Structure 1
């Protein structure tokens, strides 16, 4: 069978040159079937899974049929989310870069409408947007549907699931009768069928059959984990095999917030994405995630479709989704463009029935895994460090510090003692705060805070909002030793949740400590964990030197050991948080 080429699809030279510049050698199956069918002018129903290249399948023919001399909307693309609208528009820019005079605009809620109105009046020919905002523009008469030749419903099933049925029907009813309509969907259900029957004109089905509904390059597994133990298990999995980028899906906004705060407190670089986040912060979060400045993105299903980042190595279902379709769309964020990916799910109790439904729907078995112990985590990290040192020695042994080793040997230290000490120092240096401090290490025991008495422990255990108490109970659920790596001996500080009041009441004058003022706060989008991590990273102070951290709207107060405070101020004055410089000095009001 001869392989289909892009030149066989009937596309104009300007589009073929853009495709070639982007490095695509041959069309995907859905592109090879859909593009010629769309160019023939009929309605189609495109059924294809996430990550199959369906965006280019409808964008390429849409760009081909645009009259570049006409300054009015000719193509309308409906998308379920703001993120997907932006990504489709960006794809149109890339594929149409050689089309002189092409103008595209994304329109969606959460951003000023004036800018979108100017773009529409400026002669945009291709408009991509969410149903609600598109309908708003049409009612304002800033979007005239009279000249629309092509309407594309991207992720039609998702838009219907999100409650956009009325908006979609009103929009389609306002379009010219002569228009061409493309229905693209990952799944076909009765709601999609009803919409197609009402607004389609004998559409031709175009689909790519698969034996399974998930990408074969994604390995899937699950762990049985109680809700209160999820953060600890997640941390261990991240430590054993750290992904370059990972998405953690939760079912609720509250779960997203709690998971993100716990990860930040443990030293990971994480951020959140859900419906209550403003569009400006969402855009900034996605940009930082794409650039690798955030390694973990914690999100609700608002990001399950439309999150187009090729380098996501792992997806965690922190909460198992209710719908098998959502599971498929979630794990489709990894293993893209032929890359390998991992999908890890946490289940407990009745979740097993949902897992069985997912296996039946995807026609794949999801492997059960045992939760790694803390010893396994430590052993894995130590083995990895050993291999890295071994490779470096084999490549080019460094002679820069040889004279220091010779001096230690002359003073009577054995080579094994020197190497062992250096390994231990390197492990601590490379790990997160306190991560490599073993329980039997003198450093671990010497840094333990005073153990609370029985009454304090009971009172702390009764408080639902006490993160420390919850985490101790979590570890006892699946570890015999309650004092694991992040257990009662954790040298890292607990973050205060005190409400704003007089400064003197917020950070007490604890003997031997100082209070520092930082000119960043909640309005800048920073989290306490980011501030703690920055302080330890920049100043290299000892574990446990940071005390209370109180985050306010425009500033933050941090309690620091008195002897470490000047070093922290000096080291952090040139640092940045939330992408900008900030003031740091002793707090004058304590």
Structure 2
């Protein structure tokens, strides 16, 4: 393996990479970084999860001229989620280099973005539609761009963004360096490479296999609006000792934590906006069992070392297999078994298949529990607690009153009353969860049909009230 220290990188980059916990470069990083530093155009054929953001991000940041306050680098990504993810990783890589990175994408206030563009960012990460919108408004000037990256080009093709990409490329200097990354190489992507790239070097890397042998993996197919009720019923049926729920965005984490508390669970969330002190406080409470459910984003959960987690719930399926493996790796630690359950909307099944191919393990479909099953699960939990209390002893002070009860009432009725007092009945209190846009349509190769040519450009998330009957 190649170490980052062998790649002739600046001290600032090496410090940032070390702080991020990386010592050895992944195959695509080891192959791409030296070529990119030489100014070569590159076609990288690699799955998400192979480390390609750092593969193009490190050489891009190395080439930024800090005295030049114009936009010098641009990354085009298919979705706002990926644009945010890429910009956050570039920020971490370039933190010691003082490089200014800005993400622009649909669904965010455009006036806010216009104000941010006036602060002279040096790297722009954005979705095709919003980038083109800023270009057409005359706000985004790309005449000083020396490096352009097309990330997940095949997804942008599937979403119908090819015309937008070509329009953006026509606004960038012809003598730029171009890097194109794509999991597959369909003909339209090859044509873009032929038209807009100069003798590109092909770097082809397979995603590393990642195994999770001790973790039972299930998936539940559910519509976005149904997921929270399904999660509530699962928690009631399974009664996990410690559980982590993963959400895709900070807003999602905040809303899920609030909604779980409304429904009677002890839950708190962690994400990148929390102070370090608050984050450590939440983790301490979770480790001590003072909260039952931790809700987290991928970024916040990286590197968490928590023992005793029995269940992981992927409320939103992650976009790349590496994040999936990091998530479910929070359970099944130290040789213990764990359980991971992933919620998948019908149009996200392609992402499930990609995860299965990478982990080489099929997930088992799970039927969502009904409210009656959730109620029965809570009753059985109460019964187990009574049994455990009897085994532990120390109940002598209660025996006299217990005998009086049994003389006055039927023993079965006494037991039923005790169970009723102890049992948390399933709570159907309405909660508000903002619907997130699903991941871009990825073709599920196990099914017939073609991916859609475009996807809901400009659609804003809706709020929905979750208070639905069992399926």
- Indicate conservation of the 8 Å contact 2:247/2:315, yes or no: no
Shift of 1:295: 3.7
Shift of 1:63: 0.8
Counterpart secondary structure, 1:144: coil
Shift of 1:268: 4.2
Deviations 1:411-430 (A, max 9, x none): xxx8344699xxxxxxxxxx
Counterpart secondary structure, 2:103: strand
Match of 2:46 in 1: 48
Counterpart secondary structure, 2:47: coil
Counterpart secondary structure, 1:57: helix
Change (3 A) 1:308 1:149: farther
Match of 2:417 in 1: 442
Match of 1:79 in 2: 77
Aligned counterparts, 1:366-381, within 5 A? 366=362, 368=364, 374=376, 378=380
Match of 2:406 in 1: none
- Indicate conservation of the 8 Å contact 1:264/1:527, yes or no: no
Shift of 1:223: 6.3
Match of 2:394 in 1: 415
Change (3 A) 1:174 1:315: farther
Match of 1:430 in 2: none
- Counterpart CA distance in 1 for 2:318 and 2:112 is 36
TM-score (norm. length: structure 1): 0.51
- Counterpart CA distance in 2 for 1:124 and 1:264 is 40
- Counterpart CA distance in 2 for 1:104 and 1:149 is 15
Change (3 A) 1:369 1:169: closer
Match of 2:240 in 1: 240
Shift of 1:150: 0.3
Q: Confirm or deny that 1:222 pairs with 2:201.
A: no
- Indicate conservation of the 8 Å contact 1:244/1:295, yes or no: yes
Structure 2, unmatched stretches of 5+, are: 284-292, 332-338, 400-412, 433-462
Change (3 A) 1:331 1:66: closer
Shift of 1:354: 8.5
- Counterpart CA distance in 1 for 2:90 and 2:135 is 22
Counterpart secondary structure, 1:329: coil
Higher relative contact order (CA 8 A, sep 6+): 2
Q: Confirm or deny that 1:207 pairs with 2:197.
A: no
- Counterpart CA distance in 1 for 2:173 and 2:136 is 16
Match of 2:23 in 1: 25
Shift of 1:35: 0.9
Counterpart secondary structure, 1:174: coil
- Indicate conservation of the 8 Å contact 1:105/1:128, yes or no: yes
- Counterpart CA distance in 2 for 1:355 and 1:110 is 23
Change (3 A) 1:81 1:419: farther
Counterpart secondary structure, 2:323: coil
Q: Confirm or deny that 1:334 pairs with 2:345.
A: no
Q: Confirm or deny that 1:310 pairs with 2:272.
A: no
TM-score (norm. length: structure 2): 0.62
Alignment partner for residue 139 of structure 1, among 136, 140, 146? 136
- Return 46-55 or 356-365, whichever deviates more: 356-365
- Counterpart CA distance in 2 for 1:23 and 1:493 is 43
Match of 2:360 in 1: 364
Q: Confirm or deny that 1:14 pairs with 2:9.
A: no
Counterpart secondary structure, 2:43: strand
- Indicate conservation of the 8 Å contact 1:317/1:346, yes or no: yes
Change (3 A) 1:51 1:309: farther
Shift of 1:148: 0.8
Change (3 A) 1:116 1:367: closer
- Counterpart CA distance in 2 for 1:335 and 1:56 is 19
Deviations 1:367-424 (A, max 9, x none): 54888975699569958x979x99xxxxxxxxxxxxxxxxxxxxxxx8344699xxxx
Match of 2:182 in 1: 185
- CA RMSD in angstroms, aligned pairs only: 5.3
- Indicate conservation of the 8 Å contact 2:248/2:318, yes or no: no
Alignment partner for residue 127 of structure 2, among 115, 130, 134? 130
Shift of 1:14: 2.3
Match of 1:173 in 2: 170
- Return 74-83 or 145-154, whichever deviates more: 74-83
Change (3 A) 1:216 1:186: farther
Shift of 1:358: 6.5
- Counterpart CA distance in 2 for 1:386 and 1:50 is 47
Match of 1:62 in 2: 60
- Counterpart CA distance in 2 for 1:194 and 1:179 is 18
- Counterpart CA distance in 2 for 1:338 and 1:26 is 23
- Counterpart CA distance in 1 for 2:428 and 2:330 is 37
Counterpart secondary structure, 1:244: strand
- Indicate conservation of the 8 Å contact 1:315/1:334, yes or no: no
Shift of 1:181: 1.0
Change (3 A) 1:415 1:329: same
Deviations 1:222-264 (A, max 9, x none): 3688999945653246623542332499xxxxxx9xx999866
- Counterpart CA distance in 1 for 2:420 and 2:167 is 68
- Find the structure with the greater CA-based Rg: 1
Shift of 1:60: 0.9
Shift of 1:109: 3.0
Shift of 1:61: 0.3
Counterpart secondary structure, 1:50: coil
- Counterpart CA distance in 2 for 1:82 and 1:230 is 27
